[in-house]
Structure 1
Amino acid sequence: MIASMDLDMDTGTPLAAPTPAKASRRTHAKTRTGCKTCKSRKIKCDEEKPQCRNCTKHNVSCDYLHAPSPRHNGSTLSPECSGRLNMADLELLHHYTTSTYATLTDNIALRDFYRCTYVELGLRCEYIMRTIFALAALHLAHYRPSMRSHYLSLAAEHHQIASREALAAMNQLGPDTAPNLFIFSALTVFYAFGSPRKEHANDILFFDTTTSGVPDWIFLLRGSFALVKTLSVEERQKGPLAPVFGSGRDSWNAREAMAAAPDPDSERASRLDALEGFLSRPREHVPAHHRAVYLHWLHELRKSMRHNDQALGDATVFMWLFDFPDEVLPLLKQPTQEVLLILAHFVVLLDRMSARWWVQGWAAHLMGRIWSLLEDEYKIWVRWPMEQLGWVPP
């Protein structure tokens, strides 16, 4: 059977079959921010977060739940967020818990404390977490020079916000806020050292004598010591910071016990004996009570030097600062020649830690600043510190 068809009545030839009308295509607004699963299936994504409806309906993974971190491009890094995640902050937290924490102390037991307990407390106190971010950013800036400006910017932003919040918390100082403020102070000491050094003419020991007076890091150390005193004995022994206080107490007791024995380093002993004799000598421009302060401070520094021979670490290096009298603080506002001599000998202790990223370069920098502020008659008394550092005047 031949199928019937339409013919041209004039020619008898078959007529062409009519072209069927094309169905109209429904259009919709395109989106460039939908999930990858919808894009691969070429369907519209409703962009609902944390998981779009299409992925929920088909029980498949939505890439909103596994957002990639922003890519590095040259010297900048966009702090983009995927959903509610701040990938720049997550990078800093990851770096702190995998690397930065281990650079803060040689005490293996305290390393886990820095890595775990500080972060756990930071989850309940924003200014602690921001200080952790700031410290991690400085660490990354030190080892990634191509992105230095980016990480320094992150560090400054986080620490400025943390400082404002911590300052507000100090107005309500008590057993609940003291532990958090202690952690902030301790981490900020590392931050002060790790920050870029200033080269101003009046810059000495991380501060500008024309504006701020007492060095920030000394103020923080003294402040942290005062915060400890506000805690009860039970809090210090059983609270979250007990490992830090226990380690500090053990180091302090060992330092005091070691100070009773003669110094095995005879050259160091003779140099410090000579300096002690010079500082104790009556001089017209030096009040007697100032001489007593200088001698006490030098005595505490000598004990830390002795202890540091066997227990290298940041606690040992800075421990002598916890017990110097408050009368020294006004003297630091306009550093006297005698204070500069004592600080020059402290630089020898600081140089022992120069392998750490946050201390690198500080010993030579401080010796240079001290040398520039010393009068000629006092420079002879810093020859020994200069020899220990191998530092040569410009």
Structure 2
Amino acid sequence: MDGSDDSKNPSHRPKVGHRKSRNGCHKCKSRRVKCDETRPICNNCNRLGLSCLWPQPTKPTPSRIVTRGGSREALPRPGASDRGNGGRAPSPDSNQDSAAAGNSAGIQKRFGIQQPDYLDEPLFGSSVIDSANDAEMVLPESRSRRMLEHRLMQHYIFNMSKPFPVSAGPNWSDLFMKKVPELALRYENLLYTLLANAANHLFRSEPQNMELLAARRSYLVAAVREQRKMVDKITSTEAADSFNVEWADALCLASLMLVVHSWAALQDRPLEPYSPPLEWLQMGRGAGVLIWMSIDAMMKSGKRKDGETSSMMTVANSYPRFGADESYFDADMRRNFTGVLTQKLPSGDDWDDDETRETYEKALSYVGSIQHAIDHGEPVYALYRRIQCFALIIPRRFSEFLEERRPRALVIMAHFFATVGQLPCVWWIGDGEGGREPTAKREIRAISKVLPSEWHAQLVWPLDMLGLR
């Protein structure tokens, strides 16, 4: 089931006699196959579920859009860098190193706290950012750009400041309606994330608007780059005395909104041939590390500089309290789905490996906890939080099993999407707006097409829950 081993499949062997792709991705060049240069993920890498990285341009370009001394600069030309290196863009290897530099180990050392092993993960190694270097994505300063940004901010406030249909309370509503826009005026990472999400939401109702398409992409690139810079500050020794709670709030809130953006992207991704949603899971794991560490530091810090408590504590203290209560990993939660683990079918799994068993047990228990919450009538906002946090807290190895396309991991993923499909949809979860099939149904249908026939009996429940049989 491992789609990365091309040598075992004659149809995937490197072809000879093709025209060389001068601007192809690194993976296609190393495999000596023609790259179709589709960005951010070429069709070859998308088909095989590989990480798709691109050469970086050698010409430096602007990197900020905020006002500097009365003049505004263009959005970053994706792929450019203003981190030094003599004005040269980093090599692919140095780009990887930069992503790895902002890792959980550095934060752990910085704050002197211990994190759970399953959160040992690089923070922002997204191939979406590493591979973005299209010149046409630059949005130069203009009146139309100012009007676009005004429209995006207004759209967020009036249409997106309630992430769930029902609020968890007045503090939750104030957080996203009032405090997020206020913090966005002081922290570029949060500003760019807000604008990227607003452009993404608007583009769904205006799919022919190329200005929104370019804005969605460019602001996302800018958001993650600024996010990485803030992570680098956390892990640097110079930051020892500069940590403040408001700064951490901006970092965590942007992380949550980036996860929303990556989830929403599932609605548009091609599913033939099928590849697991690894980009979303990767973004979620990185955000989970960052949020967990920052909240721990906030609890030690106590107050913001102005005396106000952390905004992120509103999220941390809302039900369900992730981390404080890990009952979602209890064995009882997976009781109704135990057949997924006990079936002795070809799977590529080593059940003598305790970590493999624990990975599957935790992932399946978490899915079962969502269904348990649905069956017991939990508030809608709590159900959405459970759905959203799946990518933040599941074990890292589960994503590795998905990347290898192990049947058991695919079945668990189908069960997860079956719980998603039972909720009243919000825009980022994929509500089927515009005649499109909802994301949950699309993903389950795609999994059923690639799952080995001997495993199809394990898809009966997901298919029946969403009326796909």
Task: Give the TM bin, normalised by the shorter chain.
Answer: 0.5 to 0.7
The residue that corresponds to 1:184 in the other structure is: 254
1:117 aligns with 2:185: no
Q: Which residue number corresponds to residue 277 of structure 2?
A: 205
- Which of 373, 379, 384 is the aligned partner of 2:450? 373
* Cα distance in 2, alignment partners of residues 153 and 315 from structure 1: 30
Corresponding residue for residue 350 of structure 2: 286
Aligned partners of 1:282, 1:87: CA distance in 2, in Å?
Answer: 57
Aligned match of 1:91: 151
CA deviation map 1:333-388 (0-9, x unaligned): 32321111111110012113452122222101211232233111111101110110
Q: Distance in 2 between matches of 1:284 and 1:374?
A: 13
Q: How far off is 1:246 after superposition?
A: 1.2
Q: Are the equivalent residues in 2 in contact too, given 1:135–1:191 (CA < 8 A)?
A: yes
Matched residue type, 1:330: E
| 1:242 aligned partner | 313
1:163 and 1:284 mapped to 2: Cα distance? 35
Displacement after TM superposition at 1:114 (Å): 0.8
Query: Greater RCO between the two (CA within 8 Å, min separation 6)?
Result: 2
In structure 1, the residue matched to 2:462 is 385
Is the alpha carbon distance of 1:123 and 1:285 closer, same or farther for their aligned partners in structure 2, counting shifts above 3 Å?
closer
Greater Rg, structure 1 or structure 2? 1
Asked whether the 8 Å contact 2:248–2:294 carries over to 1, the reply is yes
State the shift of 1:326 in Å.
3.7
- Deviation per CA, 1:115-148, whole angstroms, max 9, x where unpaired? 111111111101211110111111111223453x
Deviation at 1:108, TM superposition (A): 4.6
Change (3 A) 1:129 1:298: same
Which of 332, 336, 342 in structure 2 is aligned with 1:277?
342
RMSD: 3.5
Match for residue 427 of structure 2?
357
Find the counterpart in structure 1 of residue 366 from structure 2. Answer: 300
Name the TM-score, length of structure 2 as normaliser. 0.56
Report the Cα offset of residue 224 of structure 1: 3.8
Equivalent position amino acid for 1:374 in 2: L
Change (3 A) 1:372 1:166: same
CA distance in 2 between partners of 1:337 and 1:253 (Å): 32
- Which letter maps to 1:136? A
Structure 1 residues 390, 379: closer, same or farther in 2, change over 3 A?
same
**Deviation (angstroms), 1:258:** 12
Deviation at 1:113, TM superposition (A): 1.0
> Structure 2: which amino acid aligns with 1:312?
V
Percentage of identical aligned residues: 17
Are the counterparts in 2 of residues 79 and 87 from structure 1 also a CA contact under 8 Å? no
CA contact (8 A) 1:353 1:359 kept: no
CA distance in structure 1 between the partners assigned to 2:388 and 2:405 by the alignment: 19
Aligned counterparts of 2:460 and 2:379: Cα–Cα separation in 1: 26
2: CA distance, partners of 1:295 / 1:96: 39
Q: Deviations over 1:42-98 (max 9, x none)?
A: xxxxxxx9xxxxxxxxxxxxxxxxxxxxxxxxxxx998428xx81110111111111
Gaps in structure 1 of 5+ consecutive residues: 1-48, 50-76, 208-213
Shift of 1:162: 1.2
- The aligned counterpart of 2:386 is 316
Q: Name the CA distance, whole Å, in 2 between partners of 1:229 and 1:329.
A: 25
Q: Size of the alignment, in residue pairs?
A: 301
Q: Is the 8 A contact 2:189 2:254 kept in 1?
A: yes
How far the C-alpha of 1:172 sits from its partner, in A, is 1.6
CA contact (8 A) 1:192 1:216 kept: no
Query: Could you say which residue in structure 2 is the equivalent of 1:222?
Result: 288
Provide the rounded CA distance (Å) in 2 between the counterparts of 1:230 and 1:332: 30
Report the equivalent of 2:167.
107
